[in-house]
Chain A
Amino acid sequence: MKSFFETEIWPLKNRLYRFALLWLKDRDKAQDAVQETMTKGFLHSNQLEHMNNPVGWMVKTLKNESLMQIRRDGKHEVLDEADSQLMEVESEKQDFSREVKMVYRFLDLLPAKQREIFYLREVEGLTHQEIASYMELPEEQVKVNLHRARKKLKTYLENNGNGQI
């Protein structure tokens, strides 16, 4: 019989990796962050099993791990606003394709919450409800933030020559 960790937590690894990549924009660091998060998830799997939202806990842990990675690099001296750090990592230096860089350029224009929600919807294809549990937010807030992010995307794409995505 498969454990709770194997059925519920381990399958999240690819999605969590991409989420970490959104913040860190470095494949190795994202890998490290996910590995650490998975280890923590495994060690806390008994507690996670009884939680209402284990996925939310994993995302929060991943976010903390990613923040620690950024702080370890010493790229950011001001540590007041955690979210602002997570969006300032440059994507231009990484070996991403032109298309990915374009997506990241747009994502970097968004505030952290909108960026994450937009990403979970457009890249991961999650429902509003799933995003709400990932982000530990009410569903309405997810819709509002998604609306704002898409509005910005519309403007962004209009400025880049095409109104539709």
Chain B
Amino acid sequence: METDKSELWEKYWKGESSLEEESLLFGEQEGLTENQPQPTFRKGMAALRDEKPKVFPKPATAFPWQRMVAGIALLFTLMACWWGYASYREQQQKQAYLQVVEAMVLLQEQLNKGSRQLENVENLKYLNAGTDWYEINNQHQR
């Protein structure tokens, strides 16, 4: 038994021992004091073995979820933008039409006003004719 163990140790130091053989070697670790390097070293390795990362999201599950949600959100945003843009354009067109109509009405009013004023100017020629008649009559009387 003792020979087997020394053979195992020899294999261990040569780096040729299997994991099972090593577990046999390190299975009998009791009875050693805390201050000896042996348990300290093994304890250090065990502490290293216990080191674990903090929880972080698994890309495989998190990624498609996020992509899907992001895709839907993007689609909705684009639809909302398009709808907003379309209604804005429609409103702009309506406003432009109303402005044109208003401008036409104003133009029509101005034209009517101009025509009326021209009529008065037209009447002035009759006033001149009257003056002419008056002067002719005066001359005859003299």
Known: A99-B40, A157-B38, A162-B38. A17 touches B53 (CB 8 A): yes
One of B9-17, B92-100, B113-121, B134-142 contacting the partner: B9-17
Query: How far is B105's CA from A135's CA once the two chains are assembled, in angstroms?
Result: 88
Cβ–Cβ contact A157 & B37, under 8 A:
yes
Cβ–Cβ contact B48 & A123, under 8 A:
yes
Query: How far is B51's CA from A97's CA once the two chains are assembled, in angstroms?
Result: 12
Closest partner residue, chain B, to A21 (CB atom)? B51
Point out the residue from A18, A127, A143 that lies within 8 Å of B48, measured CB to CB: A18
Chain A interface size range: 35 or more
Main secondary structure of the interface of B (DSSP, over half): helix
Please give the distance in Å from B15's CB to the nearest CB on chain A.
3
- Which residues of chain B come closer than 8 Å to A150, judged between CB atoms? 12-15
Question: How many B residues touch A, CB cutoff 8 Å?
Answer: 30
- Which residues of chain A come closer than 8 Å to B61, judged between CB atoms? 6
Please give the distance in Å from A36's CB to the nearest CB on chain B.
11
Residue A151 at the chain B interface, CB threshold 8 Å:
yes
Query: How far is B19's CA from A39's CA once the two chains are assembled, in angstroms?
Result: 32
Cβ–Cβ contact A165 & B42, under 8 A:
yes
Interface membership of chain B positions 104-134, coded 1 if the CB is closer than 8 angstroms to chain A and 0 otherwise: 0000000000000000000000000000000
Residue A14 at the chain B interface, CB threshold 8 Å:
yes
Query: How far is B54's CA from A87's CA once the two chains are assembled, in angstroms?
Result: 24
Point out the residue from A6, A43, A97, A147 that lies within 8 Å of B14, measured CB to CB: A147
Interface membership of chain B positions 48-61, coded 1 if the CB is closer than 8 angstroms to chain A and 0 otherwise: 11011110101111
Main secondary structure of the interface of A (DSSP, over half): helix
Please give the distance in Å from B26's CB to the nearest CB on chain A.
8
Q: Which of B1-59 contact A (CB under 8 A)?
A: 9, 12-16, 18-19, 36-38, 40-45, 47-49, 51-54, 56, 58-59
Residue A103 at the chain B interface, CB threshold 8 Å:
yes
Cβ–Cβ contact A146 & B15, under 8 A:
yes
- Which residues of chain B come closer than 8 Å to A100, judged between CB atoms? 44, 47-48
- B residues neighboring A (CB under 8 Å): 9, 12-16, 18-19, 36-38, 40-45, 47-49, 51-54, 56, 58-61, 63
Across the A-B interface, give the 5 residue pairs with the lowest CB-CB distance, nearest first. A99-B44, A146-B15, A147-B15, A42-B59, A103-B44
Question: What would 6 more interface pairs be, CB under 8 Å, given A5-B59, A31-B54, A31-B56?
Answer: A14-B53, A30-B53, A45-B60, A97-B47, A103-B44, A123-B45
22 sample A-B contacts, Cβ–Cβ < 8 Å, listed by A number: A6-B60, A14-B53, A21-B48, A21-B51, A34-B53, A38-B56, A38-B59, A42-B63, A98-B44, A101-B44, A102-B44, A104-B44, A123-B45, A124-B49, A144-B15, A146-B15, A147-B13, A148-B15, A150-B15, A151-B13, A162-B36, A165-B38
